[in-house]
Amino acid sequence: MSDSTTTNVAKVCIVSVVSFYTRGDITTEFYSAGTFTRGPDLPLPFNDHCLVEFEPGRVFISGSSYAAVRNAAIIYDLNTETFERLADMVYQRYNHGCGAINTGSS
């Protein structure tokens, strides 16, 4: 038995429109090691969206209750702190779920 302890390091991403009524302040926050820190502003007003890490350090965000963004999807890269806008989804979505599926190939 080893004396060393392995600790998994996790970061929780919070994506939200801070003020639902004004629809103006779109922010991210990260929680790690007992501390919240502010992240970059979102490029679009996501609300009632889904968010999932689909590759290490890459987060997929899609849908919104705001009509202009309902079929939008982006990827946020935690390492470069950049957003990538994807092609619009075929169907508009909000209050939906999403998950990462391992297909066994890259």
**pTM for the full predicted model:** 0.74
**Residue-number span of the structural domain to which 40 is assigned:** 12-85
Q: Is 76 helix (H, G, I), strand (E, B) or coil?
A: strand
The amino acid occupying position 88 is D
Pair 26, 46: CB distance under 8 Å: yes
Q: Is residue 106 part of a domain?
A: no
The string of pLDDT tens digits covering residues 54-90 is 888 898 988 888 888 889 999 999 889 899 999 999 9
Q: In this structure, what DSSP letter does residue 89 have?
A: P
The beta-carbon contacts of 26-34 under 8 Å, at least 24 apart in sequence, are 28/76, 33/9
The domain total for the chain is 1
Q: Is pLDDT above 70 for 4?
A: no
The string of pLDDT tens digits covering residues 23-58 is 445 888 888 888 888 888 888 888 888 888 888 889
Q: Is residue 60 part of a domain?
A: yes
Q: Is residue 25 part of a domain?
A: yes
